[in-house]
């Protein structure tokens, strides 16, 4: 049969695979996963192909030279192994860091190996595979090479093989081996082994080729590594048969001696003494695992099965004392279970989770450099001064005091302003592992705290899963979209489950339902993001330090587009910076003003990508027609409309503010959308003969309707002072109906910020005096005429500046927002008037006092 001459190497540590023997390998890592996937793909095909590998033993660490083929060994006095099947199954484990052959193992590979066929693959853990290989033929290693990236299985080490030539056997040696085999079978029957085990072996002796029978018997009986290596490395068939006869004769002598000793002991022990002796042995076996974790050392751990692997990993995990107790109890339990039972798999998975968590592995804080961190934040994000300042404060303190409890920061802002990417940048500047947990749509408490092990398919929660992935106990966790959590379902409240996670006083002993042991989360830096605080429960919000992120101004978007978005998209489309150039700032500004209207920059990035794709098509077509010299790499402002079509948000609407003619009853207000974008809003008031009713149109919400009623009530109560009536007892709207309209009726409008705008519109209507169209205002009033602060000041004033407004009237309590958030260029080009009462608003809006005398409220 023609065997492959180039094979992927699978090293065997302290094991030798001989032809006709089945060996079970425990392998893990990336290359092991790829090998397993190849096997499963072949199994799914209609015509299956065998997968062959080269099983090469590794030189034992205590040996300095390769074992000699002529080395004689002393007879073994150990008890024989029990034959399981004609193809003996032996367990071996491969330890590697993602590769089958490490650099150290490569130098320990011996010069002979066994061609093996993969007969079965089963998953034995999260990244552990049990691979059954059957020995086919011995070979000599001619050369070792490593596959390149252009070859199949890149990075794998391969062996170039030389196989032995067919040989004839001597009849006398073959007959001697057959006789010894029959004697071995008879001795095994004397041990009262089950027929189901002995019959296949007896059949193999009768039908198997003598060369394979010799290898099989040497694997069944007790032989040393050097003896099995001699069998593998010897190409002379007759010499192998002689060695097999020698080893088998020795084993029969050992069995005979064991029988004699057994008879002598049984003759000297009474029945009561034998029972006592066996009972003492049983108690010793049952009590042995109690101290296994306390005295465990890697060199003492058996590498024969999966439990040995768990022992080793638990020993290296540095478990806390209380967790060691739980692991000891679980190890005692799993040793009493059958591997085929479901409880055995549940216990094994639980112990794997305990061994893989980073109980005492941390990222050192000495790697923090403040200047480097500040430079990293400035390079990744433009603006966001408040967030950067808070992060630098935390880094400075943790540099001085290592055990500082990590703050829990919640970044609140509209979509696309960089909340998620900011978390990744913070992790980089702190040299910490980063893990994002998406909480949008999470509705089950078990997603946070895990499922109890009594349920089928139970697993830990998102917090513990993230810690295992990060492999350190002080990563940065980004709780993304924390305001999108479901509340009060029949699966529990996940927001309530987060209360313990986000409480620095409690999370030092966070107990996941699956683990049922405490884990210290006090070193984890939690960073939450949200678009709104309205849906976050108050107890959860109280545990977080809220930092608000505002929308970007046009100047900020222009800077971000030039320094981040355009280079990123140009590289993503495979172009060079010389093949597409945005030298004209006006072209980018046109994209921002006319094709995107958002607080962040996501739509802007998509629009830039559309322009670059258009230029890619243009360049490709010119290359195909060999007219590449005609290509114009510069994006001009007039190219934008030709590429993207008619603008989505015409500037004409914004500029209409300065072009409108002032009319009585029409006032310009300021609005703030839920997406974080500001805008202007016209309020139009009209009166007609009627019965004193108030009509409101424009898709208005309840809050703004109440503001309109409040404004009308205040104007009615102060009509005489405002010179709207000639008599203090005259009723202002007794024979009129007032209609107040907010244009763009398809857009819903609501919120407590239109009070002063409505008052000015009604006063302007009845006084027949105009307010300049270049004057805008925002603010709420009380029934007594006091001004109340409102939100979204930055977005509203920036939108007013963009629309050509020259004067903005704001409540005096919003002065801090202007000084902290507004760009300097906007403050220099707009006159901002602060007012404490509605009277001051009217004086600023009409540019002169319209009241004959002002009534003052007594505070006596």
Binding site membership for ATP: which residues?
Answer: 413-420
Six-digit token string for 436: 């994002």
d(CA 809, CA 667): 12
Q: Which residues pair with 69 in a beta bridge?
A: none
The answer to whether residues 24 and 131 touch, using CB atoms and an 8 Å cutoff, is yes
- Three-state DSSP class for 186? helix
Six-digit token string for 262: 């057994």
Which listed residue (388, 794, 796, 807) is catalytic? 796
| Binding site members | 413-420
DSSP letters of 281-302?
HHHHHHHGGGGTTTS--GGGS-
d(CA 822, CA 794): 6
DSSP letters of 364-383?
-GGG--HHHHHHHHHHH-SS
Q: Assess whether 753 carries a catalytic annotation.
A: yes
DSSP 592: I
Distance, C-alpha 661 to centroid of its chain: 57
Q: Which residues pair with 678 in a beta bridge?
A: 672
The answer to whether residues 826 and 797 touch, using CB atoms and an 8 Å cutoff, is yes
Q: Which residues pair with 438 in a beta bridge?
A: 480
The half-sphere exposure of 194 on its side-chain side, counting CA atoms within 13 A, is 4
Six-digit token string for 589: 């500004």
DSSP letters of 19-46?
TT-EEEEEEESHHHHHHHHHHHHHHTSS
d(CA 758, CA 778): 10
The phi-psi region of residue 194 (left if phi > 0; otherwise alpha if psi is between -120 and 50; otherwise beta) is beta
d(CA 322, CA 328): 10
- Three-state DSSP class for 212? helix
Which listed residue (211, 753, 799, 844) is catalytic? 753
Name the packing angle between helices 321-335 and 306-316 (round to 10°): 170
DSSP 532: -
d(CA 798, CA 802): 6
Give CA torsion, residues 414, 417, 422, 423, to 10 deg.
30
State the pairing for strand pair 545-548/409-412. parallel
d(CA 671, CA 656): 16
- Three-state DSSP class for 129? strand
The answer to whether residues 447 and 462 touch, using CB atoms and an 8 Å cutoff, is yes
d(CA 9, CA 23): 15
Question: Which helix (H) or strand (E) segment is 741 a member of?
Answer: strand 736-741
Cβ-count burial 813-839 (b if 16+ within 10 Å, e if not) = ebeebbeebbbeebeeebebbbbebbb
Residue found by looking up tokens 């040299």 in the block = 431
The half-sphere exposure of 620 on its side-chain side, counting CA atoms within 13 A, is 9
Q: Assess whether 699 carries a catalytic annotation.
A: no
The answer to whether residues 468 and 422 touch, using CB atoms and an 8 Å cutoff, is no
Query: Which of 831, 827, 814 has its CA nearest to residue 774?
Result: 831
Task: Please compute Rg for the chain using Cα positions.
Answer: 41
Taking the alpha carbons of 436, 441, 445, 451 in that order, is the dihedral positive or negative?
negative
d(CA 14, CA 649): 74
Residues annotated catalytic, as ranges: 753, 796
């Amino acid at each position: 049969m023609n065997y492959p001459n180039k094979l992927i190497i699978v090293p065997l540590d302290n094991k030798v695979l001989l032809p006709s023997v089945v060996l079970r390998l425990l392998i893990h890592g990336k290359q092991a996963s790829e090998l397993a996937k190849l096997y499963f793909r072949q199994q799914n095909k209609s015509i299956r192909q065998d997968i062959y590998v080269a099983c090469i033993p590794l030189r034992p660490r205590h040996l300095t030279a390769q074992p000699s083929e002529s080395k004689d060994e002393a007879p073994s006095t150990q008890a024989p192994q029990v034959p399981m099947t004609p193809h003996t199954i032996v367990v071996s484990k491969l330890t590697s860091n993602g590769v089958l052959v490490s650099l150290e193992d490569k130098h320990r590979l011996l010069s002979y190996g066994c061609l093996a066929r993969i007969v079965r693959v089963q998953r034995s853990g999260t990244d552990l595979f049990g691979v059954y290989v059957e020995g086919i033929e011995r070979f000599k290693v001619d050369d070792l090479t490593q596959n390149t990236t252009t070859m199949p299985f890149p990075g794998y080490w391969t062996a170039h093989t030389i196989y032995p030539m067919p040989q004839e056997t001597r009849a006398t040696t073959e007959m001697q081996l057959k006789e010894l085999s029959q004697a071995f079978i008879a001795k095994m029957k004397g041990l009262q082994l089950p027929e189901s085990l002995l019959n296949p072996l007896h059949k193999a002796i009768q039908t198997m080729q003598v060369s394979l029978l010799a290898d099989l018997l040497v694997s069944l009986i007790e032989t040393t590594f050097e003896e099995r290596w001699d069998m593998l490395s010897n190409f002379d068939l007759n010499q192998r048969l002689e060695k097999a006869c020698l080893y088998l004769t020795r084993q029969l002598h050992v069995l005979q001696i064991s029988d004699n000793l057994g008879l002598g002991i049984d003759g000297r022990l009474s029945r009561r003494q034998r029972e006592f002796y066996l009972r003492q042995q049983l108690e010793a076996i049952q009590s042995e695992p109690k101290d296994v974790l306390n005295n465990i050392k890697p060199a003492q751990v058996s590498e024969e099965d999966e439990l040995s692997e768990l022992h080793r990993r638990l020993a290296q995990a540095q478990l806390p004392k209380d967790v060691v107790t739980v692991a000891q109890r679980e190890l005692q339990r799993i040793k009493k279970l059958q591997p085929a039972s479901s409880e055995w798999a549940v216990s094994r998975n639980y112990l794997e989770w305990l061994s893989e968590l980073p109980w005492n592995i941390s990222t050192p804080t000495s790697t923090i450099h403040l200047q480097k961190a500040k430079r990293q934040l400035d390079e990744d994000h433009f603006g966001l001064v408040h967030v950067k300042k808070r992060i630098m404060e935390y880094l400075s303190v943790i540099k001085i005091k290592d055990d500082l409890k990590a703050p829990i920061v919640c970044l609140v802002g509209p979509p696309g302003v960089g909340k998620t990417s900011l978390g990744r940048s913070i992790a980089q500047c702190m040299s910490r592992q980063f893990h994002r947990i998406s909480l949008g749509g999470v509705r089950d408490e078990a997603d946070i705290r895990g499922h109890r092990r009594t349920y089928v398919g139970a697993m830990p929660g998102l917090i513990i899963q993230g810690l295992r992935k990060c492999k350190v106990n002080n990563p940065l966790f980004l709780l993304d979209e924390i305001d999108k959590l479901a509340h009060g379902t029949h699966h529990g409240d996940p927001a309530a489950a987060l209360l313990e996670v986000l409480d620095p006083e409690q999370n030092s002993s966070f107990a996941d339902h699956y683990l049922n042991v405490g884990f210290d989360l006090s070193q984890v830096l939690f960073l939450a993001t949200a678009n709104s605080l309205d849906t976050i429960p108050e107890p959860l919000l109280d545990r977080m330090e809220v930092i608000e992120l505002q929308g970007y101004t046009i100047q900020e978007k222009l800077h971000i587009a030039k320094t981040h978005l355009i280079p990123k998209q140009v590289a993503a489309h495979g172009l060079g910076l010389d093949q597409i150039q945005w030298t004209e700032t006006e072209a980018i500004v046109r994209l921002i003003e006319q094709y995107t209207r958002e607080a962040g920059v996501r739509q802007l990035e998509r629009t830039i990508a559309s322009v670059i794709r258009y230029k890619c098509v243009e360049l490709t077509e010119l290359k195909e027609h060999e007219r590449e010299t005609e290509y114009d790499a510069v994006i001009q402002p007039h190219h934008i409309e030709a590429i993207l079509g008619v603008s989505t948000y015409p500037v004409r609407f914004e500029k209409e503010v300065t072009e409108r003619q002032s009319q009585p009853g029409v006032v310009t207000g300021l609005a703030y959308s839920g997406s974080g974008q500001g805008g202007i809003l016209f309020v139009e008031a009209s009166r007609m003969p009627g019965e004193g009713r108030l009509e409101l149109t424009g898709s208005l919400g309840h809050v703004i309707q109440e503001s309109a009623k409040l404004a009308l009530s205040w104007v009615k109560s102060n009509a005489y002072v405002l010179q709207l009536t000639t008599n203090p007892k005259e009723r202002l709207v007794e024979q009129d109906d007032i209609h107040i309209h907010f244009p763009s009726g398809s857009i819903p409008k609501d919120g407590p910020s239109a009070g002063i705008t409505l008052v000015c519109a009604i006063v302007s209507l009845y006084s027949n005096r105009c307010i300049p169209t270049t004057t805008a205002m925002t603010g709420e009033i009380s029934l007594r005429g006091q001004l109340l602060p409102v939100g979204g000041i930055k977005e509203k004033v920036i939108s007013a500046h963009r629309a050509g407004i020259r004067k903005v009237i704001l409540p005096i309590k919003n002065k801090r927002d202007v000084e902290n958030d507004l760009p300097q260029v906007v403050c220099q080009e707009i006159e901002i008037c602060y007012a404490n009462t509605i009277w001051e608003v009217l004086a600023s809006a009409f540019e002169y006092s319209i009241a004959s005398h002002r009534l003052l409220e007594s505070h006596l």
